[in-house]
């Protein structure tokens, strides 16, 4: 049982990973397929919003649920691990950095301010928390905030597709983790600008941690973003110095992700800036963890790859500011139903094997029955042949006895003589009745006219038991005018007929 449990755990660990990045106008999904013990192949897919208002607003909610259902069916996401990251249009992050007492105070203050976050829309808010130790003297705490109705809509859309989400976090947190994993300036803070959404999201990343979530006001275009950030760069330098003890000027690099045209225009605007150097943020190559095609290295796919990164790295869920912590519910399906959804291929294969085995057993039984029937048929044939041989011997013996009886039996000649006498015409006279060898009778007589001889012959021929009547000759008598005739009668062999009838009766029996 222990070996089976370990095998199942390994199978679960090697399932596909899915990172779903949700932006107001597009959904991207990064599919991480296991290659070996620690590496994955990543592919990117996306669905664009068909409405101008975007997802999760008005009529866009139906389109959002349809898009999720399409992606789930297309990539069979029910059988993998699924994580979600939300663009800055939907959520914000607040960071507390310092000693333990300072971080505790910031968290309590934030809890009282969250209900007044009108930038996320009216209604209740949901939060996700994560806290970690930076060193012996300082802690890092991150609180993510989202509108409760929005995150509930996202969660319900996946639940209706029978997909259990591992977590949901802000996209900027995912991007910060990817920057730390790629070792871009590991010992220096770096500015990251996400232009994939409708508005710019800016954050400061240090050692893979997001230490500032900054959204410039009214920065909806590349030019407005350049103007706003150029005016705030000195304050960003002071923030890094105050919280990290970093000297002014060390925050000198910014990476930008988003659509290629938008990124190129923004990089060109910062080309002459002395305060910060801007460059496109392409998906970094981490050969020890994943591989992907050259096309998918473009900066517009960075948020999607960042969203699936924790699942590939198997990061503990306690290190993720899960926005679902307040809306997550117990699965609607029972354990048996969830087990069937996960294990249906094995169940189907088992059923097919059982059906095949049943058919094999049935065929074997059929062949065994046919062999038994064949043996019984052979025995029946042998018994029938024996009976036929016995009947043939009996028939042969019966024929022999019939022949003996035929040879020994004498007909009733007196009766035959009486019948012959009665059949002769009145003018005919019977002179001699002689029994010859075999079954023949010789008759001699006389008639007044020769023509009467033929009438006598015809009468004798019609007698019962007479097989043949033959006229042997006629002659006139010397002392009278009469004509003398000689006729031979061949009688029917009654004994042969009786033997034949007895044989037929024996065969029918």
Query: Of 3.50.50.60, 3.40.50.150, 3.40.50.300, 3.30.1360.100, which CATH number belongs to 413-494?
Result: 3.30.1360.100
Burial code (b: 16+ CB inside 10 Å, e: under 16) for 214-246 equals bbbeebeebeebbebbeeebeebbebbeebbeb
What are the sequence ranges of the domains in the chain?
12-332, 343-408, 413-494
What is the CATH code for 12-332?
A: 3.30.420.380
Alpha helices in 409-493, H assignment, sequence order: 413-423, 451-461
The pLDDT tens digits of the residues spanning 307-344 come to: 999 999 988 888 899 999 888 875 555 667 667 777 88
Residue 275: pLDDT above 80?
yes
Residue 228 tokens read as 């706003």
**Whose CA is closest to 63, among 50, 46, 45, 53?**
50
pLDDT given for residue 70 in this prediction:
94
pLDDT given for residue 471 in this prediction = 86
Contact (CB, 8 A) for 264 and 7: no
Q: What pLDDT shows up at residue 12?
A: 43
For 174, what's the count of Cα atoms within 13 Å in the CB-facing half-sphere?
A: 32
Alpha carbon of 433 to those of 429, 445, 474, 486: distances in Å? Answer: 11, 9, 16, 10
Q: Check whether 5 has a pLDDT greater than 50.
A: no
Task: Extract the tokens encoding 182.
Answer: 């790629």
For residues 96 and 103, what is the distance between their CA atoms, to the nearest angstrom? 5
Q: How far apart are CA 285 and CA 307, in angstroms?
A: 16
Q: What angle do CA 422, 479, 459 make, to 5 degrees?
A: 20
Query: Tens digit of pLDDT for each residue in 185-228?
Result: 667 888 999 988 888 999 999 888 898 888 887 788 899 989 88
Q: Output the pLDDT for position 438.
A: 67
442 φ, ψ (degrees, to nearest 5): -105, 125
- Please tell me the predicted confidence (pLDDT) of residue 40: 94
Is the separation of the CB atoms in 82 and 159 below 8 Å? no
Q: What are the distances in angstroms from CA 347 to CA 13, 80, 170, 340, 445?
A: 20, 18, 38, 8, 110
Token pair of 231 as six digits? 């005016």
Average pLDDT value for residue range 145-157: 92
Predicted TM-score (pTM) of the model is 0.62
Q: Which helix (H) or strand (E) holds 215?
A: none
Give residue 296's pLDDT band: very low, low, confident or very high (50, 70, 90). Answer: confident
pLDDT tens digits, 57-99: 667 788 999 999 999 999 999 988 999 999 988 999 999 888 8
Q: Please classify residue 206 by burial: count the beta carbons closer than 10 Å to its beta carbon, then call 0-12 exposed, 13-18 middle and 19+ buried.
A: buried
Going from the C-alpha of 456 to that of each of 150, 426, 433, 445, 462, the distances in angstroms are 133, 10, 15, 10, 10
The predicted structure's pLDDT at residue 62: 87
Q: Find the mean pLDDT for residues 355-379.
A: 88
Range name among 164-173, 174-183, 291-300, 335-344 with the lowest pLDDT average: 335-344
What CA–CA distance (Å, rounded) separates 486 from 406?
A: 28
Task: Give the pLDDT of residue 231.
Answer: 81
Looking at per-residue pLDDT, the higher value among 456 and 333 belongs to 456
Half-sphere exposure of 25 (CA within 13 A, CB side): 9
Contact 32, 42 (CB under 8 A): yes
* pLDDT for residue 289 is more than 60: yes
CA angle 498, 502, 505 (to 5 degrees): 140
**Is 299 a residue whose pLDDT tops 50?**
yes
Among 393, 192, 211, 420, CA closest to 306? 192
| Dihedral Cα 203, 207, 211, 212, nearest 10 deg | -10
Classify 276 as helix, strand or coil. Answer: coil
**HSE-up of 235 (CA within 13 Å, CB side)?**
8
Q: DSSP per residue over 350-375, as a string?
A: HHHHHHHHHHHHHHHHHHHHHHHHHH
The pLDDT > 70 percentage for the chain reads 88
- CA–CA distance, 334 with 330 (Å, rounded to integer): 10
What is the average pLDDT value for the chain, to the nearest integer? 84
């Amino acid at each position: 049982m222990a070996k089976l449990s370990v095998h199942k755990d390994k199978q679960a660990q090697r399932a596909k990973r899915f990172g779903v990045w949700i932006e107001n106008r597009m959904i991207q999904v990064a599919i991480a397929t296991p290659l070996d013990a620690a590496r994955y192949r990543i592919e990117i897919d996306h669905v664009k919003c068909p409405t101008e208002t975007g997802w999760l607003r008005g009529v866009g909610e139906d389109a959002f649920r349809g898009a999720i259902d399409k992606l789930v069916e297309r990539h069979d996401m029910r059988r993998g691990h699924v994580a979600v990251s939300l663009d800055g249009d939907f959520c914000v992050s607040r960071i507390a950095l310092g000693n333990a007492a300072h971080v505790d105070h910031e968290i309590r203050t934030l809890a009282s301010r969250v209900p007044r976050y009108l930038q996320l829309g009216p209604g209740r808010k949901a939060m996700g928390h994560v806290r970690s130790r930076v060193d012996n003297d300082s802690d890092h705490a991150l609180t993510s905030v989202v509108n409760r109705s929005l995150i509930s809509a996202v969660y319900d859309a996946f639940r209706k597709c029978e997909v259990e989400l591992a977590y949901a976090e802000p996209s900027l947190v995912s991007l910060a983790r990817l920057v730390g994993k790629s070792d871009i300036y590991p010992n220096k803070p770096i500015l990251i600008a996400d232009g994939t959404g409708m508005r710019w999201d800016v954050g400061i990343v240090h050692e893979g941690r997001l230490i500032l979530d900054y959204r410039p006001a009214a920065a909806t275009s590349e030019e407005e973003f350049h103007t706003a950030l150029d005016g705030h760069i000195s304050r960003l330098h002071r923030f890094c110095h105050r919280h990290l003890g970093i000297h002014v000027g060390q925050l000198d690099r910014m990476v930008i992700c988003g659509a290629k045209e938008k990124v190129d225009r923004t990089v060109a605007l910062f080309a002459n800036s002395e305060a910060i150097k801007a460059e496109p943020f392409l998906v970094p190559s981490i050969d020890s963890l994943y591989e992907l095609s050259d096309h998918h290295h473009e900066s517009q796919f960075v948020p999607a790859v960042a969203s699936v990164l924790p699942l590939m790295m198997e990061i503990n869920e306690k290190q993720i500011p899960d926005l679902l912590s307040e809306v997550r519910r117990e699965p609607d399906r029972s354990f048996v139903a969830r087990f069937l959804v996960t294990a249906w291929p094995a169940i189907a294969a088992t059923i097919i094997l059982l059906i095949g085995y049943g058919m094999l057993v049935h065929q074997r039984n059929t062949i065994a029955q046919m062999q038994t029937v064949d043996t019984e048929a052979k025995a029946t044939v042998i018994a029938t042949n024996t009976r036929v041989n016995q009947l043939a011997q009996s028939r042969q013996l019966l024929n022999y006895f019939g022949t003996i009886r035929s040879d020994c039996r004498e007909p009733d000649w007196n009766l035959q003589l009486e019948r012959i006498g009665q059949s002769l015409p009145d003018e005919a006279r019977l002179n001699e009745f002689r029994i010859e060898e075999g079954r023949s009778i010789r008759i001699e007589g006389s008639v007044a006219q020769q023509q009467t001889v033929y009438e006598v012959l015809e009468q004798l021929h019609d007698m019962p038991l007479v097989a043949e009547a033959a006229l042997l000759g006629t002659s006139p008598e010397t002392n009278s005018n009469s004509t003398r005739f000689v006729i031979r009668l061949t009688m029917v062999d009654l004994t042969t007929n009786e033997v034949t009838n007895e044989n037929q009766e024996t065969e029918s029996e």
